[in-house]
Amino acid sequence: MHTKLIVAREKDIITATAEGILTFEESRQALADVAAATESSGDYKLLLDTRRARSRLSAADLWHLAAELPALGMAFRHKTAVLCLTQKFDDARFFAVCAQNRGFPVCGFTAFEDAMTWLNGKPATPAQATAALPGGELPVAAAERPDPEGNDRPSDL
């Protein structure tokens, strides 16, 4: 099955919709195609809609895709929402965290309305997304925070 990428612009939001089966190479090419399509677009926000796509990308693949974002120029320096099916949210969240660690404002969502709310400047709640906090900090669940007394605690995540 082939992969289809549709890029459309409405006001200040560019939407890229992927369909079909996404391999690592096809995902990489799709990101490059989005970057090329947005090259002269000025100020915009980006919505990557992957709900119609299927993939079997590993955590390493997602990490490598995020690691390639700096090579794609300014395209992903704009707010980028990754919209996915609920069963793929862990993948979207991991990709977003990897991108955030490189300074890119990327956030994963399962609901179109939540993605649009975040793109339009309203903060997302932790249940809605994996948004970076002001100053680039990531939200951390209490179970992930280090114990102030130095005791190790198991994480519930």
pLDDT of residue 39: 83
pLDDT (tens, 9 = 90+) of the chain, 157 residues, equals: 355 667 676 778 889 999 999 999 999 999 999 999 888 778 889 999 999 999 989 999 999 999 999 999 888 999 999 999 999 999 999 999 999 999 999 999 999 999 999 998 876 555 555 444 333 344 433 333 344 444 443 333 3
- Does residue 134 sit within a domain? yes
- Does residue 20 sit within a domain? yes
| Sign of the dihedral defined by the CA atoms of residues 120, 122, 126, 132, in that order | positive
> Torsion angle, CA of 25/60/18/48, rounded to 10 degrees?
-130
- Does residue 152 sit within a domain? no
- Does residue 149 sit within a domain? no
- Does residue 26 sit within a domain? yes
Q: Would you call 54 exposed, middle or buried from its count of C-beta atoms within 10 A (0-12, 13-18, 19+)?
A: middle
- Does residue 52 sit within a domain? yes
pLDDT of residue 142: 30
- Does residue 83 sit within a domain? yes
How many of the other CB atoms lie within 10 Å of CB of 38?
21
pTM for this entry: 0.74
Q: How many domains does the chain have?
A: 1
Domain that holds residue 56: 4-144
- Does residue 155 sit within a domain? no
CATH of the domain at 104: 3.30.750.24
Task: Return the structure tokens found at 98.
Answer: 């990897």
